[in-house]
Structures are given as structure tokens and as C-alpha cells.
Amino acid sequence: MATVTLRDTEKTLTDAGEISAFLAPFGIWYRRFEGSDQLPENANDQEILAAYDEPIRELMAEGGYVTADVINIKPETPNLEPMLNKFNKEHWHDEDEVRFIVHGRGLFHVHPKNEGPVFSIEVVKGDMIRVPKGTHHWFDLCADRTIRAIRLFQDVSGWTPHYTGSGTDASYQPLCFGPMYMPARGV
């Protein structure tokens, strides 16, 4: 399950309901898919898309998305650093950024425009997230440098990053902890 961290206060949210309620005022939706895909580690893109066909179709109908693909990043992915450098700087897109995580972990940082603090959303298998178009954000991989996600698009050409040049991203380290590192409530 996702972990939301308000980076300037280190407050964390790990309950799906709390996460959804916190993200809603920013236009970000978060959902969990608890199904099991039973996919082998070396599943190809078509096998992944077929395993998640039903939730993909539901999301496409709901958001007007017309195409889906799979991004599969591992430490041995060719040209990994240049690829990651496209997305680890604050930017925005002309269309929604929709991700359905099927393996691994990643970290979205969101910098709301005059609406609140910078926060991060660590996503894991089963997390579905939509960052609306125009939202200032950046993305980093966690230490294992592994993520496999289904991406949904309204128009592939609209997904180009537009960099803000603010430098805000340089003030926040890509720290992925997940729920296992969170202190128990009331401690």
C-alpha cells in the first residue's frame, strides 16, 4: 500500500482512506487493486496487459484514456540514468499521468501550486494513481531501482514533460521507506 509523506513535517499517511482523502483536494486520485496477477518475473508487456485487462478497461472508460502500455524498469535497463533524469526534475504534463503499479516501487513528489506543502507518494504493487494534467511533480525510483507499471494515455503526444526550472526538486531527497519503516501509531 502507498505511503504519503508530507516532506517538510515528515508526517506520514499509510491508510488507503486517509491517503485518498488527503490527495483529493489536489485532484489526485489513489486506489488499490487487491487482485493477484500470478505473472512470472519475465512476463512480457502483452501478458501484463492481459492480466490486468478488467481494471484497465474500467479506468480507460472512466478517464477517457485511449491507449495503455507497460513500462518495465530494472537496474540493468539500458540508458537508465538518462531516462530517469527526464522525470526526476520538477515538471508538468498536458495530460493526466496515470500509473497502475504491478511490480516494484517508485516515488512521486508533488509540489502543489499555492495549495499546500510538498509531499511524496511512494507507490507499490496494486497502487493506482492519477496525477492530473498541470500538476507540478517529479518521479524517482526507490533504492532497488525496479518498477513495472501500466500507463494510460488520453493522447500519447500530450505526455511530454514541461520543466518548471524552479529547483524545488533539489531540496527533497528521494527517500522510499514504505510502511515497514513507519513507527506504530501511538508509539
Domains and CATH numbers, the chain: 3-167 (2.60.120.10)
Tell me: the pLDDT tens digits for 45-98?
Answer: 999 999 999 889 998 999 999 999 999 999 999 999 999 998 999 999 999 999
Answer yes or no: are the C-beta atoms of 186 and 104 closer than 8 Å: no
Interacting residues of 172 by C-beta distance below 8 A, sequence separation 6+: 7, 109, 118, 120
- For cell 507518494, name the residue: 121
Tell me: the pLDDT tens digits for 97-108?
Answer: 999 999 999 999
Least confident window among 19-28, 53-62, 138-147, 167-176 = 167-176
Answer yes or no: are the C-beta atoms of 85 and 167 closer than 8 Å: no
What pLDDT score does 34 carry?
Answer: 76
What pLDDT score does 97 carry?
Answer: 93
Mean pLDDT of the chain: 88
What pLDDT score does 185 carry?
Answer: 38
Tell me: the pLDDT tens digits for 109-146?
Answer: 999 987 778 999 999 999 999 999 999 999 999 999 99
Answer yes or no: are the C-beta atoms of 75 and 81 closer than 8 Å: no
Looking at the chain, which runs of residues are DSSP E strands? 3-6, 11-13, 29-32, 67-73, 91-92, 97-110, 119-124, 127-131, 137-141, 147-153, 162-163
Least confident window among 10-19, 64-73, 151-160 = 151-160
The pTM of the whole model exceeds 0.75: yes
What pLDDT score does 55 carry?
Answer: 87
